[in-house]
Structure 1
Amino acid sequence: MIDYNKILAENPVLESERLVIRPFFMDDVNEVFLYASDDQVTEYLTWSSHTDLAQTEKIVKEVFLGKPGVYAIELKAEQKCIGCIDLRLCPEHDKASFGYVLNRKYWNQGYMSEALQLILNLSFTKLQLNRVEATHFVGNEGSGRVMEKCGMKYEGKGSQEVKIKGNYYDVIRYAILKENWVSLD
């Protein structure tokens, strides 16, 4: 049996040309608040916009710090956190799902595709997963484009699959198999 947490612990930092994918630090709280408090950023997320810095500090401390597979997306040029990407493992099926969020200032510049490529590479080369999947809300086509750019394939629509704040939302499902993955190595 593969020890996924050990592999994640041995690979805490992933790098591309422009990004460092790394663990969160409490020093990231201000940058996290910038995107977590932006209603446009959180419109298609399962959580509401943060209303104060204390809320963000609590989330970073309780949800992000020291959690294998939860990464800050750091822009090398600015040396600051511009978003988050996390890998949610399902060991019994050799698969994972993921979620991500990015500061609006950095949208449409290829950063999220670059971060996702790093996560997919980790998933298939180090973790030896067979499948990685994700969903996005109908209306958030930008997220679907990120997945498609990374080689993920459309698998269908889930009607009223997610309930948030009393409302049901449709989702679009994408996935990629190890056999279809083109490695970065």
Structure 2
Amino acid sequence: MVQDRQNHELAGLEYTDDDDFGHDLLDMYRRRAGAYVIALKDTDEMIGIIELNKRGESEGLLATREIGFVVCKEYRQQGFAKEAIQLLRDYSFNELDLTELWASTEADNVAPQKLLESLEFKYMYEADQTLPYTGQHNLIKYYLLTK
């Protein structure tokens, strides 16, 4: 996943062509609280990553999280991201008792924007974001879903 430049360009996922660093990046995601694998039900093959990240530790942000997701290109537009987001949304609102879910996309990545809107996320604003490890800047659109 981290060796696919398109995942970097479309979703902001870190990119590397170095196998060792790629394994280190995926291991970092594996250890992170709130990071989950999107996998095929029949084979357990990993086809993506979905995350539920804290937005901060201040009182106003404790009941909010940000969803991030990426699906390997050969599995895109087949409903996997939609199902994963729906499951994480239901878990967030029903089990974690969160009140807000945020999601962001690259400004020119229309497919996930349409997906988020189909799941009733509302576009809120655009911002410049610096990626960790690379220092690259990307224009990001932010979407909000409330309970």
TM-score, length-scaled by structure 1: 0.69
Amino acid at match of 1:85: I
Q: Which residue of 2 aligns with 1:163?
A: 130
Q: Is 1:77 equivalent to 2:46 in the alignment?
A: no
Aligned match for 1:143, one of 112, 125, 141: 112
**Sequence identity percentage:** 25
- After superposing on structure 2, the runs of 4+ consecutive aligned residues of structure 1 that deviate more than 4 Å are 164-167
Q: Does 1:109 align with 2:78?
A: yes
Q: What is residue 6 of structure 2 aligned with on the other side?
A: 40
Separation in 1 of the partners of 2:13 and 2:38? 19
What's the counterpart of residue 152 of structure 1? 121
Provide the secondary structure at the position in 2 that maps to 1:136.
strand
Task: Give the equivalent residue in structure 2 for 1:64.
Answer: 29
Deviation at 1:163, TM superposition (A): 3.1
Which has more radius of gyration?
1
Find the aligned partners of 1:105 and 1:131 in 2 and give their Cα distance: 31
Query: What is the SS of the residue equivalent to 1:155?
Result: strand
What amino acid sits opposite 1:143 in the alignment? Answer: P
Which secondary structure state, in structure 1, belongs to the residue aligned with residue 65 of structure 2? strand
Segments of 5+ residues of structure 2 without an aligned counterpart are none
1:48 to 1:88, Cα distance in 2 relative to 1, 3 A: closer
Contact 1:74 1:82 in 2 (8 A): yes
SS in 1 for 2:108: coil
| Structure 1 equivalent of residue 18 of structure 2 | 52
Deviations 1:127-182 (Å, cap 9, x if unpaired)? 00110011111111111122112221112333xx213556543221111101xxxx
How many residues were matched structurally? 141
Q: 1:64 to 1:157 in 2, by over 3 A?
A: closer
**Aligned equivalent of 1:13:** none
CA RMSD of aligned residues (A): 1.9
Distance in 2 of aligned mates of 1:108 and 1:45: 14
C-alpha displacement of 1:79:
2.1
What displacement does 1:43 show? 0.8
User: C-alpha displacement at 1:47, in angstroms?
Assistant: 4.3
Q: What's the CA shift for 1:85?
A: 0.4
CA distance in 1: counterparts of 2:130 and 2:31, whole angstroms: 29
What is the CA–CA distance in structure 1 between the aligned matches of 2:135 and 2:19, rounded to whole Å? Answer: 26
Question: What is aligned with 1:27?
Answer: none
